[in-house]
């Protein structure tokens, strides 16, 4: 007997959603068999080709969908020569066909309960008809309460969303930030919600030996997540002077435009190295004397498990998620933050000089989400196993 798990992420911008699901896959593969008494297999459904390059636990695999990317207020095909509606239908049918064969006991959907433009709605109906459980996984910050409320309404309202779910897992520490209290999570969904702690401790490490991108110690590090919106901060960082006796490693992210990476490499001084990617970025974060970064969930989760001093410069365009996360964590002393408009090259040079003489313990933040999720999954699997599947036209 096997337990089958599917994890979905839409991945229109960056790889944060897929990386979160990958961390969950490793935790579930390692811990769930002892809790359920069954072997565990799984499928990660992603929407960016780079996601499938990352290894998974034994018995797990990627299903990489044709990609979508954001344009204006909507989504368009990233590469495929078709219109958005046709691509949505293709993605929806592909997911539904795969899960009809695998029949997952548990489906975890990251951030967008109905996927992009409703592509998951048929999938959720099929999952419910089969008797499988469905969880919505949320990062600890969504956006301003007003923006979040408008998004729930566009989906048909919180009550409508809740009818498709068995649980909501919030991957954060409610003592730092509680989206149930801010109003980002309406009551109908808050009733289903459990906060897990940040998905920090226990993230899958990359394989050694370390690649040649590793900087010699001591060094300061700039890391920009996917990199699609990190050019402005990178231009400041590459011109700043590393502290005496230190080098500077700048990881642009794989989605920064090649021309911008070339520009940064030309601007870099002799003590600064600019690379597009480094698979061991979490290890580099732990080993750095200080870190400059943006405020994406995965970057912050990897940072919080270290004692590396950090200056977080959040993205402020389109969403306020990164800014709200950075300010909440700064309020509990876990990091420092500033706005890009308030940061000059001289400011960054001065911050590095000061930061490399300090450390930043973060013992007060709950970082154990990856050990909390498997028992939550086991409890949900036991509950749904005792509940008969819905009889519907889809089941018939």
Separation of CA 268 from chain center: 29
**CB atoms < 10 A from the CB of 76, how many?**
16
Q: pLDDT at position 388, please? A: 59
**In the predicted structure, residue 239 carries a pLDDT above the cut 90:** yes
Distances, alpha carbon 235 to alpha carbons 14, 162, 181, 317, 342, in Å: 20, 44, 37, 18, 14
Comparing CA positions, the residue from 142, 154, 150, 12 lying closest to residue 70 is 12
* Contact call for residues 174 and 182 (beta carbons, < 8 A): no
Q: Point out which residues pair with 134 in neighbouring strands.
A: 107
> pLDDT by residue (tens digit) across 116-171?
999 999 999 999 999 999 999 999 999 999 999 999 999 999 999 999 999 999 99
Reduced to 3 states, what is the DSSP secondary structure of residue 61?
strand
Query: What is the number of alpha carbons within 13 Å of residue 285 lying toward its C-beta?
Result: 25
**In the predicted structure, residue 214 carries a pLDDT above the cut 60:** no
Q: pLDDT at position 70, please? A: 82
Give the separation between CA 98 and CA 100, rounded to whole angstroms: 5
Start-end ranges of CATH 3.40.50.2000 in the chain? 2-201+368-385, 219-355
Exposure b/e, 81-108, CB count within 10 A at least 16 = b: eeeeeebbebbbebbbebbeebebbbbb
Give the separation between CA 25 and CA 110, rounded to whole angstroms: 13
- What CATH class has 219-355? alpha beta
> pLDDT by residue (tens digit) across 298-317?
999 999 999 999 999 999 77
Q: pLDDT at position 16, please? A: 85
Read off the pLDDT of each residue in 250-276 and give the average, rounded to a whole number. 95
Q: Is 2-201+368-385 in CATH node 3.40.50.2000?
A: yes
**In the predicted structure, residue 210 carries a pLDDT above the cut 70:** no
> pLDDT by residue (tens digit) across 169-199?
999 999 999 999 999 999 999 999 999 999 9
Residue 368 dihedral angles phi and psi, to the nearest 5°: -105, 25
**In the predicted structure, residue 333 carries a pLDDT above the cut 90:** yes
Where are the alpha helices (H) located in 201-344, listed in sequence order? 231-239, 258-267, 281-287, 297-304, 321-331
Q: pLDDT at position 53, please? A: 83
């Amino acid at each position: 007997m096997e337990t089958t798990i599917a994890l979905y992420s839409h991945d229109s911008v960056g790889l944060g959603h897929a990386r979160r699901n990958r961390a969950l896959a490793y935790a579930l593969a390692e811990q769930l068999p002892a809790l359920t008494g069954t072997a565990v297999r799984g499928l990660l459904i992603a929407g960016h080709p780079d996601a499938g390059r990352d290894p998974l636990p034994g018995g797990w695999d990627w299903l990489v969908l044709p990609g979508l990317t954001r344009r204006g207020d909507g989504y368009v095909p990233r590469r495929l020569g078709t219109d958005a509606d046709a691509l949505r239908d293709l993605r929806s049918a592909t997911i539904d066909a795969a899960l009809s064969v695998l029949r997952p006991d548990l489906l975890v959907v990251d951030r967008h309960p109905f996927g992009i433009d409703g592509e998951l709605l048929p999938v959720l109906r099929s999952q419910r008809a089969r008797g499988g459980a469905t969880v919505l996984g949320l990062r600890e910050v969504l956006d301003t309460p007003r923006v979040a409320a408008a998004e729930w309404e566009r989906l048909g309202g919180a009550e409508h969303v809740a009818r498709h779910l068995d649980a909501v897992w919030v991957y954060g520490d409610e003592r730092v930030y509680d989206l149930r209290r801010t109003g980002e999570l309406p009551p109908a969904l808050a009733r289903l919600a459990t906060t897990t702690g940040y998905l920090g401790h226990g993230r899958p490490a990359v394989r050694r030996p370390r690649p040649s991108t590793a900087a010699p110690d001591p060094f300061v590090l700039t890391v920009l997540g996917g990199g699609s919106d990190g050019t402005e901060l990178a231009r400041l960082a590459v011109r700043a002077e590393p502290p005496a006796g230190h080098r500077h490693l700048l990881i642009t992210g794989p989605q920064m435009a090649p021309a911008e990476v070339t520009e940064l490499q030309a601007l870099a001084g002799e003590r600064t190295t600019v690379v597009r990617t480094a698979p061991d970025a979490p290890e580099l974060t732990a080993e750095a004397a200080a870190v400059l970064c943006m405020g994406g969930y995965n970057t912050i989760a990897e940072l919080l498990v270290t004692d590396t001093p950090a200056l977080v410069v959040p993205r402020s365009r389109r969403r306020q998620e990164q800014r709200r996360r950075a300010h909440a964590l700064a309020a509990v002393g876990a990091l420092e933050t500033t706005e890009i408009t308030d940061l000059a090259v001289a400011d960054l040079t001065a911050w590095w000089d000061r930061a490399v003489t300090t450390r930043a313990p973060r013992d007060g933040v709950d970082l154990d989400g990856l050990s909390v999720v498997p028992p939550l999954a086991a409890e949900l699997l036991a509950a749904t196993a005792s509940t008969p599947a819905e009889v519907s036209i889809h089941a018939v």
